[in-house]
Structure 1
Amino acid sequence: MDLSGKVAIITGVSKGIGRSTAEALLAKGAIVAGWGRTAPEGLEHERFQFFECDVRNEIAVQEAYTNTQRELGPEIQILVNNAGIGHFGPVDGFSSDDWHEMFDTNVHGVFYCTKAVLPQMKKQHLGHIINVASLAGTAGTANLAGYCATKYAIRGFSDALFKEVRPDGVRVTCVMPGSVETNFNGAEPGQEPDPHKMQPEDIAAAIVHALEAPQTVMISELQMRPTQPK
């Protein structure tokens, strides 16, 4: 798909992979609706508009979608479900509130946003939904049981969804990165890029690659790993 002039919704746009994806799509000529609880600092562009949205709240998602269509027009070609959080720790010492917050953001939020855009994408017979999961959706890790469970859920959701909507001309890609240097889990990226981790812009480039594939091609899953991890 030629991205020039296409409207893309990106959730979790304030930093990390979401922000890098917004910048990458803007560079390709797309119009970007950034959804998030906080606006990305310093991201000012004539084709970028921020819409406050907590994806954990279905009514907030519906309002953000209505506002996006009012401001940018009815046609939405791209949704990047990127918003996500991770709380780590042993299952028997884990806060139930943290567990629920992860599922509300990482799983239910993806459902709410997807449900919002699908009718228009089906009507257009054109659309692409990118779900940002994780390699944690392919293998379990001690002390990451809850996070892994949410990402396994997104992988399963994506696999079922692409089979459901492909007759309507809608493509679905599940992107599963390994270690990425972001603010994830409260960590601050270093001054110099960590050579043992991928950078957010690397994931954004993979998302652009999937979006730009010919309309006859659907990249259903993308697994990404650092070449030389620690």
Structure 2
Amino acid sequence: MNLSGKVAIVTGVSSGIGRATAEALLTRGAAVAGWGRHAPEGLDHDRFQFFECDVRDEHAVAEAFTNTQRELGLEIHVLVNNAGLGVFGPIDGFKSEDWHAMFDTNVNGLFYCTRAVLPQMKKQHAGHIINVASLAATAGTANLAGYCATKYAVRGFSDALFKELRPDGIKVTCVMPGSVETNFNGAQPGQQPDPHKMQPEDIAAAIVHALEAPDATMVSEIQMRPANVK
């Protein structure tokens, strides 16, 4: 897909992978609708518009989609389901509200956003959905059971979705990064880039790579790991 002039929705746009992806798409000439609970500070671009949206609320998602089409036009070419939440800890001490918050964001929110864009993408017989999962979708890890469960769900959803939407001309890619330097789980990125972690821009570049693949090619999954090991 040539991204110039295309319209992309990016969820979880306020920071980290979401913000980096929005910036990468803008560089490629796309118009970007950024959805999130907070606007990204300092992201001022004539092709970027922020729409306040908590993806856990299906009514908020529907409203954000309506507002996006009103402001940027009916055609939606890209959806990047990036909004995510991770709470770690042993299961026998895990709070139910944290469990539900992860599923509501990582799984239910992704479903609401995907469902919102599909009628228009089917009408166009074109579109690309990027679901940001994690390497936690490939192997379980102690004290990450709840998070792994959500990301396994995202990977399974993505795999089924690409098979469902293939006849409609819609591509689906599941991106599974390993360690990325963001403020995920409350950790603040360091002043100096951690050489043992990938940067949000690295993940954004992989997303753009998948989007710009030739029309006859679908990159269904991408696994990413830091090149430098501790």
Q: TM-score, normalised by structure 2?
A: 1.00
Distance 1:229 1:83 in 2: 27
Match of 1:76 in 2: 76
Matched letter for residue 39 of structure 1: A
Instruction: Give ranges in structure 2 of 5+ residues lacking alignment.
Output: none
Distance 1:125 1:146 in 2: 36
Distance 2:138 2:229 in 1: 17
Runs of 4+ in 1 over 3 A off after TM superposition: none
Distance 2:75 2:215 in 1: 17
Match of 1:54 in 2: 54
Secondary structure at the counterpart of residue 103 of structure 2: helix
Match of 2:30 in 1: 30
How far off its partner does 1:136 sit? 0.2
Matched letter for residue 114 of structure 1: T
Match of 1:43 in 2: 43
How far off its partner does 1:229 sit? 2.4
Match of 2:209 in 1: 209
Let me know the Cα RMSD of the aligned residues.
0.4
Aligned runs of 1:1-230 on 2, under 5 Å?
Answer: 1-230=1-230
Instruction: Give ranges in structure 1 of 5+ residues lacking alignment.
Output: none
Matched letter for residue 106 of structure 1: N
Secondary structure at the counterpart of residue 56 of structure 2: coil
How far off its partner does 1:228 sit? 1.6
Distance 1:229 1:32 in 2: 35
Matched letter for residue 88 of structure 2: F
Matched letter for residue 140 of structure 2: G
Q: TM-score, normalised by structure 1?
A: 1.00
Instruction: Among all aligned residue pairs of Structure 1 and Structure 2, give the percentage whose two residues are the same amino acid.
Output: 82
Distance 2:190 2:24 in 1: 22
Aligned residues: 230
